[in-house]
Structure formats: C-alpha cells, structure tokens
Amino acid sequence: MTAGQFLATAWEWHPSVLVGSALALAAYFRWAKPVSPARATAFVSAVLLLAFTLVSPMDPLSDDYLFSVHMLQHMFMVQLISPLFVLGVPPHTWRWILTWRPADRIEDVLGRPVIAWLSHIAVMLAWHVPYFYDLALEYEPLHVLEHLMFLTTGVIFWWPVVAPVRERMHPLASAFYLFLAAAATSVLGIVLAFAPAGTYVYYVRPHGDPTVTHLVRTAWGLNPQADELLGGMFMWVLGGFGYLIAIALVVIRWYSAPEPTEEAAG
C-alpha cells in the first residue's frame, strides 16, 4: 500500500458525525440570526473541521497507528474548533441561552478565568497519563468521552478570552492567561517528546491493518520512538505557537478598540 492509496481509501463516513454536523448547521442558521458573515464563517469552519478530524484519514491514523497524529487531532479540537465555536455563535444567541437560569449559574462558575484555565489544563494532563490514554484507545465509549471533554473544556477555556457576553479579564490578563497555557502545553510537549520509547503501549503494536503499519513504520519512518518525539514536538512547538498567536490577536484587539470619550469616562 502506498501513502496515496491509504489517504484515498481511509475516509470513514460515520453517520453520527455527518448527521450531527448537518443538524448543528441547520440549527445555527435557524436560530442564530441575525449573524454576520465573519461569525457564520467561524461556526461553519468549526463544524467542518470537527467533521474532518473524525471522518478523514486523521481518525484511523490516530486511533490505530500514530500517537503524533492523535496529538494533532487533539490540537485541532482545543486550539481551532473550540475557539471558532465560541466566536461563531453571536452574542445575542449566547445571551438567550443564558436566560435559562441553570445555564447562567454554570457560566457564572465555569466562566471564571482561574476555573476555566484549570479545567482545561487538568483535562489535558489527565488524558495524557499513559494509563488513561491507552485505556481510551482500547474502549471506544471512553475515547468518545475523552474527545467530548477536550471540546467542552476547550470551549470553557476560550470563553473568558473571547468574552462573548461579558468581559472577564483585562486584555493584559488575557495575554498572561494564554501565556501560562502556552507554558503548560510546552512543558507537557517536552515531557512527551523525551519520554522513553513505548510510553504509550497501545502504539508499540498497532491494532490496525498490518499493511498500514508497514507503511507508517518503513515508508514514513515513524517507529514508536520517532512517533512519540513527533507527537511531543507537535504539542510543544505547534501547541505553544497557537496560544502565542491568540496572544497577538488579543493585543491587536486591545489596541484597535476605540478610546472611551471623556463623556463616557465621566
């Protein structure tokens, strides 16, 4: 099998993913109006990216063969899909959701920056403990739970930064919040990159098609040690860089905000 043959045939058209994506888009364009083109683009991109991570060859590669691709899949969920979702839903829709008292109470707690940051980092660290990581790959319901937790805590993490309903932090505080996340991600990435080969036992003997295993081990040169090193580098370099881009956007937004008038200040 060649790389081209694998990439052309490894798409998995899960009905649950396709139907769920279609329903999410239909509900959005039914109840989120009026919505700006920029927000609509963000929401549609979030849905399409999530579908891509779950039906494209990225999914079987991450499930059965490569730790590094699994890291990439998680980064898509946390650093692209989650913030795009928060950005894509217009503020008036969020306010309507928060008129439901339980939702407002949940937001009042989870929307606090310290809790949002800790929930995100704690979930990330917990699921990268080798025992839990390998267990999730062995049991599909647990794997689904893992992805749901990444997406949920990703939304919680980005909520006080995007601030779609109320300002939770000064922009400088947001930048520091993101910097600390970049530091935590980088430390985790360094630990993963230089961990002993075979730390994640599941990938030492891949459970998928032997011809695909041969492809990734020989043609792509990704033995367990190289695979773990690449996965750690993804988390370390790309993950940290993603938060740094967000810091730059926060600072740009701060500087481009109009200055309050003297009347407003008074």
| pLDDT of res. 208 | 79
- Name the residue among 210, 232, 218, 206 with its Cα closest to residue 65: 206
What is the reported pLDDT for 260?
Answer: 55
Query: What residue ranges of the chain have pLDDT lower than 50?
Result: 262-266
Is residue 1 classed as helix, strand or coil in its secondary structure? coil
Per-residue pLDDT, 207: 75
pLDDT per position as a tens digit, 97-116: 999 999 999 999 999 999 99
Asked whether the beta carbons of 122 and 178 are under 8 A apart, the reply is: no
Domain ranges of the chain: 7-256
Share in percent of the chain as helix, strand, coil (round to 5): 80, 0, 20
pLDDT attached to residue 248: 92
